Amino acid sequence: MGLNGLLDIELRVPEPAELVAFWERRGMTHHGDGVLGTADRPVQLRVLHGDYRHLSELHLSCESEADLADIRDRLAGLGAEASISDTRLTCTDPVLGHRVSIDVGAPPPLGPSQARATNLPGGFDRSNERADAVAETDPRAPRRLGHVVFGTPRFMDARAFYIDGLGFRISDQVLNGVATFARCETDHHNLLIHPGSVSHLNHYAMEVDDVDAVGKAGQAVLAERDDSSVVGVGRHNLGSNIFWYMTDPSGTMFEFFSDIDQIVDDEAWDRDHRRDDWEGSDGPAGFSVWGPKEPDRFFNQPDLPEIGAAREANGLGS
């Protein structure tokens, strides 16, 4: 089966305690040493000190030890070294420079969401009471880390590493690989690679229960930091998810999202839905069905020159 899960990520930022406290206020649990988790998954973010904001480790899972050997062999064919110790493979992303770890296992299952009663034209399942989103006192906490997005001028090299090497499965592509949406779970994407002026973590995404949870969690962030909104709220075309992109205290963009497409039959998706030739920003390949259409700051984050300089100083190149 190969890859089957996005387990967690390690972030390096100049002020880790500030970022940990920020996510604690969002409802995540701090287990010590910068480890943050959700109710179902005790490890989702690991926050450590770094001279500049960047991803330092991507932690994945796979089905079996045989999968680890297959991944190691595919990486070797690409000229990338990987080592296996017990039931863990480790390697280095040759483009972005972070560590990739793959353990035999799977992400812990999620408990069901508490569904909100909804009234629709022609029928209703809530009467004589206010909507749950109105009555609840606090925003719902994030449920899990859902995906990461990388920008890089070497997007084809990155695509080869993640798709041909690690084994992410392609869900959709823009212009045959200029931007690649890929998955290791049933989500439409757990990974997106797109062109960028410098190699960087574009954003990490936290899933919440529904559109009300997206709105209320985002509004709570705005109440703390009124300049934190980047783009949103809206619904994407590719992936279909509701989104709101914001910045955390380190300046890293993150996303609250919900209702992403689920791909449970790879063959059926590839036959009926997947396209590799989406073009530009119009139509189904566009940024959103509704909501912002031209998200310049999403792709052109203001601190990219600083990140580029830090990468050069650390011998990582562009």
pLDDT score at 305:
97
pLDDT above 70 for 282: no
- Indicate whether 58 belongs to any domain: yes
Residues 6 or more apart from 73 whose CB is under 8 A from it?
none
pLDDT score at 203:
98
CATH code assigned at 283: 3.10.180.10
- Indicate the residue type of 10: E
pLDDT above 70 for 148: yes
**Residue found under tokens 């779970």:** 185
**Residue found under tokens 């809206």:** 234
Q: What is the rounded average pLDDT of the residues 110-139? A: 92
How many separate domains does the chain show? 1
- Indicate whether 131 belongs to any domain: no
In the DSSP assignment, the letter for residue 284 is: G
In the DSSP assignment, the letter for residue 133 is: H
pLDDT score at 285:
74
- Indicate whether 162 belongs to any domain: yes
- Indicate whether 133 belongs to any domain: no
Q: What are the tens digits of pLDDT across the range 238-263? A: 999 999 999 999 999 999 999 999 99
CA pair distance 166, 98, nearest whole angstrom: 14
pLDDT above 90 for 107: yes
Query: Which range of residues forms the domain containing residue 73?
Result: 3-108+141-313
pLDDT score at 296:
86
In the DSSP assignment, the letter for residue 238 is: S
CA pair distance 65, 220, nearest whole angstrom: 43
pLDDT above 90 for 295: no
- Indicate whether 75 belongs to any domain: yes
pLDDT score at 280:
66
Q: Give the residues across from 312 on adjacent strands.
A: none
CA pair distance 309, 163, nearest whole angstrom: 28
pLDDT score at 281:
56
pLDDT score at 74:
98
Q: Retrieve residue 210's tokens.
A: 């529904």
pTM score over 0.85: yes
**Residue found under tokens 């992403």:** 260
Tell me the longest C-alpha to C-alpha distance in the chain.
65
When pLDDT is cut at 50, 70 and 90, the band that residue 175 belongs to is: very high
Q: What is the rounded average pLDDT of the residues 99-123? A: 95
Q: Which of 280 and 219 is assigned the larger pLDDT?
A: 219
Q: What are the tens digits of pLDDT across the range 177-204? A: 999 999 999 999 999 999 999 999 999 9
Asked if omega into 100 is within 30° of 0 (cis), the reply is no
pLDDT score at 290:
95
Report whether 138 contacts 217 (CB < 8 A).
no
pLDDT above 90 for 286: no
The percent of residues in the chain predicted with pLDDT above 70, rounded, is 98
pLDDT score at 292:
93
In the DSSP assignment, the letter for residue 142 is: P
Q: What are the tens digits of pLDDT across the range 4-52? A: 999 999 999 999 999 999 999 999 999 999 999 999 999 999 999 999 9
- Indicate whether 127 belongs to any domain: no
Report whether 169 contacts 266 (CB < 8 A).
yes
Question: 161-179 burial by CB neighbour count: b if 16+ within 10 A, else e?
Answer: bbbebbbbbbbbbbeeeeb
Our separate counts of H helices and E strands in the chain read 8, 18
In a 10 Å sphere around its CB, with 0-12 CB exposed, 13-18 middle and 19+ buried, how is residue 104 labelled? middle
When pLDDT is cut at 50, 70 and 90, the band that residue 294 belongs to is: confident
Q: Give the residues across from 181 on adjacent strands.
A: 172, 192
- Indicate whether 48 belongs to any domain: yes
Q: What are the tens digits of pLDDT across the range 297-310? A: 999 999 999 999 99
- Indicate whether 305 belongs to any domain: yes
Nearest CA to 45 out of 56, 232, 110, 102 is that of 56
